[in-house]
Structures are given as structure tokens and as C-alpha cells.
Structure 1
Amino acid sequence: MIATLQCIVLDCPDVHELARFYRSLLGGTVNQPDPRWAVDDDFSTLHPASGPILGFQRVRDHRPPRWPDSAYPQQFHLDLEVPDIDRAQEQVLALGATPLHTDPRGWTILADPAGHPFCLLKGPSSDGR
């Protein structure tokens, strides 16, 4: 092994807005003290309860991805497992997500408020189905 994952960083126009969006979606602490980086108006972090740390880096001329337009590539995306896709989609839309596509194979593709695509994937439901 050469490295371990420290943080996934997303470019965006407003670091605080995007950190709050993902905190509402994943839980965790925004801008938890961490000696690996400084947080300010140009950089914010989210330490979720599980999974990797997310970083949000301000880019003044941010050009959001336009899925699936390769002229505006995804740059990255997150796959998020949920017990109920319909309920999860309702919740993330209320947080400011935008629907992009419902795949017939069973997942939904949305964009966060800065335009980054992410997928909702069906995971085990609380009743075991």
C-alpha cells in the first residue's frame, strides 16, 4: 500500500453550503478541529459518523458537471446506500438536490447543490427486505 485515503475534496462555489448539505445527508461534524488542514471561507470539512472525510474547496469560477455531458465531466461521484430510494430521494430533494436520472437497473442519480452527481443505491431495509 502506498497511501490511505485522507479526504475526498469537492470543488464548489460555497464551501459552507455544500458542507451543510452533506451533513444533513450523512450526519457528522462540519469543520471538526483537525491538524491536517485549516478551515475558512475557502475550505470546509465534514467528518461523517462513518466513511471518509469530505472536504469542500472554494473555486471562484466553478463549472458544475453536466451529467452525462463529457464537455462538463462528473469529476467524481458518490454512491450512497439507502434502505428506501423513494424516501431518500424525497429527503435529498428537500435539501436542495436536483434529480438527473432514474436508472432502470435500480438506482437514482441526483446532483448536489453545486452540481456534483451522486447515486442513491438500494441497501438492506430496516425490515430485512
Structure 2
Amino acid sequence: MPINTLRSVVVLDCPAPGRLADFYARMLGGRVEGEGRWVEVTFDSGALAGRRLAFQEAEGHVPPQWPSAERSQQFHLDFYVPREELDAAEREVLGLGAELVEGDDDGKRGFRVYLDPAGHPFCLCVD
């Protein structure tokens, strides 16, 4: 018997929860809820309907360094897009403030690696 339910898909530590929540809400089509030290992104429809991403203020936050054994990523998020939409998705996330850190080797690999505005790695993967 489960002792509870999973409320958030994942919680990210960051220096500015509202800003990072806005990045992911705009990227994924969610809605920002709350303010201050804990902010969530909720989803009303689509594959993420009913799920939440949460962002928690962490004083002195030191972002992961990708790739690095000393400051490991600890986790990353994968977002799947159709191959024909990968370049457009990349333009969109870069416009929202992401940074490309590793390309897909001219299409030889099915993913590209980015850092969100707080330095957390995520991938756009070919669906």
C-alpha cells in the first residue's frame, strides 16, 4: 500500500524560482503558480496534464557542471520532439534563455544538450 502520492514530477533547486518556473512554463506550455521561495508550474492539458514541476529557492545554489564528476548533474530532463521540429524547438529554448552545450553531431545522435537559465542540464531528444 502506498503511503502517499507523488505531488511534483521533480523539484529543482535554483536561485530564482519564479524566473526558472517561467522558463519551463513557456517551454512546456504550463502555468506558473505561487511566488517567493517555492513556485510551481502546472499543466491543464496534454501529456503533462495534472503534473507539476516545482522550483525551490536554494541560497548559495551552485549549478551542476556538465559534464563533470566534481559537480555532477545528478539528474537531467529529457524532452522529446519530432525530428523535423528539432531545429525549431532549439531556436525556441535558446530564445527563452537556454544555452546549447552539446550538439547532435550533425544529426548522428538523437539528442542535443542544453543548460536552463539556472544551469540544470536538459536534452531535446528526437521522438
- TM-score, normalised via structure 1 length: 0.82
Q: 2:18 aligns with which of 16, 28, 40?
A: 16
Distance in 1 separating the partners of 2:16 and 2:110: 31
Contact 2:18–2:35, Cα closer than 8 Å, also in 1: no
Deviation of 1:76 after TM superposition, in Å, equals: 1.7
Counterpart position of 1:115: 119
Query: Equivalent residue of 2:103, what SS?
Result: strand
Question: Unaligned stretches of 5+ in structure 2?
Answer: none
Contact 2:65–2:71, Cα closer than 8 Å, also in 1: yes
User: Which stretch shows the higher mean deviation, 7-16 or 96-105?
Assistant: 96-105
Counterpart position of 2:94: 93
Deviation of 1:4 after TM superposition, in Å, equals: 4.5
Counting matched residue pairs gives 116
Q: Deviations over 1:49-89 (max 9, x none)?
A: 33231000001100001101121111221110112211111
- TM-score, normalised via structure 2 length: 0.84
Alignment of 1:1-129 (within 5 A): 2=2, 4-7=5-8, 8-31=10-33, 39-48=34-43, 49=45, 50-51=47-48, 52-83=51-82, 84-103=85-104, 104-123=108-127
Query: Equivalent residue of 1:88, what SS?
Result: helix
Question: Unaligned stretches of 5+ in structure 1?
Answer: 32-38, 124-129
Deviation of 1:105 after TM superposition, in Å, equals: 1.8
Query: Equivalent residue of 1:109, what SS?
Result: strand
Tell me which protein shows more helix as a share of its residues: 2
Contact 2:113–2:121, Cα closer than 8 Å, also in 1: yes
